[in-house]
Amino acid sequence: MATAELLRPEPSAADARARREEVRAFIEDEARLLDDRDFTPWLALFDEDCRYWVPVHPEQRSPADGVSHFHDDKQILMARTHRLLNPRAFGAEPSPRTAHVVSGVRIERDVVGADGEGELVVTSSQIMLEYRNRDGFENDLRMFGGRVTHTLRDRGGRFTIAEKRVDLINAEAPFNAMLAPL
Amino acid sequence: MATMLEERIGGIGPADLVRDHEVHRSVYSDPAVFRLEMRRIFGRAWIYLAHDSEVPNAGDYVVRHIGTQAVIVTRDKDGAVKVIFNRCTHRGATLCAFERGQAPGGHMCPYHGWLFAADGTLKSISHKQNYEEVLDPADWAVTRVPRVEAYRGFIFGCLDREAAPLLDFLGHMSTTIDDLVDRSPTGEVLCSPYVLKHYYRGNWKMTFENLNDTIHPGFAHAASVVSAKHVAEEVGGPEHLKPTLGMMMANGKPISFFQQLDMVTAPGGHSYIGGHMGADYTPDTQNAYHAALVARHGPEKAAKVLGLDRHLMLLYPSSTWHARYQTVRIVRPVKPDLTEVIGYTFSFPGAPEETRINAIEYCTGANSAASPVISDDLELYERMIHGNAWGDQEWIPMSRGVREDRETTNEWTRQPSTSEGYIRNQFRAWAAYMGRS
């Protein structure tokens, strides 16, 4: 948002609840699309100039600071999700199944620019269980978790994702193949 | 429980697990082989530890590994780099819990407060009177890594007091480190604190055998090529693809292309292949970068530096280097079937910002466990461990391209990049290290 920002007028308690409910539903629905492997509508949630970012350190301020686990624009997200559905992607054979648990959705910032376009920063705690049927033992089930920060654009009742940042609690750890977007 | 190696030990040594064009599968999984590798290979070779810029000031330290042993790399008060084991001599607790930090006063064990200097000297013992005439602190220094040498700012350690100097170990491969440093317009090279680590349940040698393999990408990474092509169609042609997707697409180059590329192998198990990434800077950056290098090196050498296009130099047994993309990886064996790979990126003060961003993007694509390319490799390493655990086939062939050597000098052999000559070369070094008691 280039122009001056205006805070929305202090909402009534009922309006604040309704706003929070609307945002929470969006965050939960986004995670559900991933679990359903419904990647076309999932990608459609992201702006053309979006960023999907999983830093390697909690103190990383920008992807330009250094390497990242994921630092995706829309093209890379497209390729990544296309690959997940490709039966020849050995790294994804068999493809992972995931279950996201979304909790503690909180609106950190909710502003509207002079152009009338709104911008929200929303944080949530998320856990993703991931299962790949490989040798049938405990290594097949993994857990990822941390704080997710969504920067959303409010396009008059419809949200789009400008940035999704996932701060894993073990960001600095070595990882085995990470296939499913978190 | 007797392992395969121990069953064989009646007259047969570890070097007999390697034939000219075949290797015994136990080298990838046998715990006895692994223990011997830690002593005879990682206990004898020069191991890349850290870059000068990671420990710029007195007291700065990083923790690294020589084989399975953790070492502390510290800069002492006089500016010298000291490398000691990360282990208190009292009860054996590790001294440093973090990968990097500052310990200007020395390393204090958190258990009973024994305090060690950067060079391992035991400076003070708590409750000293209990040790009077019993224990002489001079006898209880932390073991120092006996050989520490640096080449152009890259610090290596070696546990073998008798080993030949680092320069002899590097041999022809020092030219790749030159390539990296010469690409800096100021000669200065800085290591980023942000690193990428991936691991796999497989043997450390698998990374070395995979990285210079130019046949596997067309198969193992085929899905990445398909997906990159799909995106190219969606965005109106491959010319609109971002560099990361260009990298994915590069895996689809025909085998005839890789056949004409050279692979160079050298004594010690080292190798590199000819580059194929090209110079993909924007024209403005290319010009600015070229001008900066001309200012440092003169036009002739600057053209040579920018023109050198080597892909992945493997410095056996512990690091891999990509000068063009300012990246060094450390391959760390943890167990016979557990390996960690740590990717470091370097930046050049005075170079255009785009060169640093390119290096970050390359390193992310080449080292993240989330990289579409790496995740294929990790899957295949683990499949090889599973497949080699049973069945009656004990010997694994490594004979591809055996008849195709192109040229041999005292320093190196040149062959097509499609050859498995680099694997044979690694196992020649392996057998030489392992066969020496």
CATH of the domain at A21: 3.10.450.50
A21 within domain boundaries: yes
- With an 8 Å Cβ cutoff, are A174 and B367 in contact? no
Domain B172-214+261-435 = CATH 3.90.380.10: yes
In angstroms, the separation between the Cα of residue A13 and the nearest Cα of chain B is 42
Q: Where are the CATH 3.90.380.10 domain residues in chain B?
A: 172-214+261-435
Domain count, chain A: 1
According to the model, what pLDDT value does residue A1 have? Answer: 46
According to the model, what pLDDT value does residue A75 have? Answer: 94
Q: Where are the CATH 2.102.10.10 domain residues in chain B?
A: 47-158
The confidence band for B3, taking pLDDT boundaries of 50, 70 and 90, is low
CA angle B356, B315, B361 (to 5 degrees): 20
**Mean of per-residue pLDDT scores for chain A:** 90
Range with the poorest average pLDDT among B24-28, B240-244, B328-332, B369-373: B240-244
A177 within domain boundaries: no
- With an 8 Å Cβ cutoff, are B386 and A174 in contact? no
Measured between CA atoms, the residue of chain A closest to residue B346 is A66
pLDDT exceeds 70 at position A89:
no
- With an 8 Å Cβ cutoff, are A67 and B192 in contact? yes
In angstroms, the separation between the Cα of residue A121 and the nearest Cα of chain B is 25
In angstroms, the separation between the Cα of residue B344 and the nearest Cα of chain A is 9
Contacts (Cβ under 8 Å, ≥6 apart) of B333: B34, B37, B38, B42, B67, B68, B203, B204, B339
CA pair distance A166, A148, nearest whole angstrom: 5
Q: Are B45 and B169 in contact (CB under 8 A)?
A: yes
- Of all residues in chain A, the percent with pLDDT exceeding 90 is 74
Peptide bond into B14 cis (omega under 30): no
CA B389 and chain centroid, separation: 27
A178 within domain boundaries: no
Contacts of A139 in chain B (CB under 8 A): 201
- With an 8 Å Cβ cutoff, are B227 and A88 in contact? no
3-class secondary-structure state, position B85: strand
Contacts of A173 in chain B (CB under 8 A): 197
CA pair distance B109, B76, nearest whole angstrom: 18
- With an 8 Å Cβ cutoff, are A175 and B195 in contact? no
In angstroms, the separation between the Cα of residue A8 and the nearest Cα of chain B is 37
pLDDT tens per residue, range A151-161: 999 988 799 99
Contacts of B326 in chain A (CB under 8 A): none
3-class secondary-structure state, position A44: helix
A1 within domain boundaries: no
pLDDT tens per residue, range B52-66: 999 999 999 999 999
pLDDT tens per residue, range A49-64: 999 999 999 999 999 9
- Alpha helices, H only, B274-347: 283-297, 299-307
- With an 8 Å Cβ cutoff, are A75 and B378 in contact? no
Q: Which residue range(s) make up the domain with A159?
A: 13-86+94-168
- With an 8 Å Cβ cutoff, are B227 and A82 in contact? yes
Decide the pairing of beta strands B81-85 and B196-200.
unpaired
Mean pLDDT of A160-167: 98
Measured between CA atoms, the residue of chain A closest to residue B357 is A64
| CB nearest A90 (choices: B220, B231, B367) | B220
pLDDT exceeds 60 at position B10:
no
In this prediction, the answer to ipTM > 0.90 reads yes
* CATH H superfamily, domain B47-158: Rieske [2Fe-2S] iron-sulphur domain (2.102.10.10)
- Of all residues in chain B, the percent with pLDDT exceeding 70 is 96
**Mean of per-residue pLDDT scores for chain B:** 91
CA pair distance A102, B224, nearest whole angstrom: 30
| CB nearest A86 (choices: B223, B340, B342) | B223
A182 within domain boundaries: no
Mean pLDDT of B82-88: 97
Contacts (Cβ under 8 Å, ≥6 apart) of B56: B75
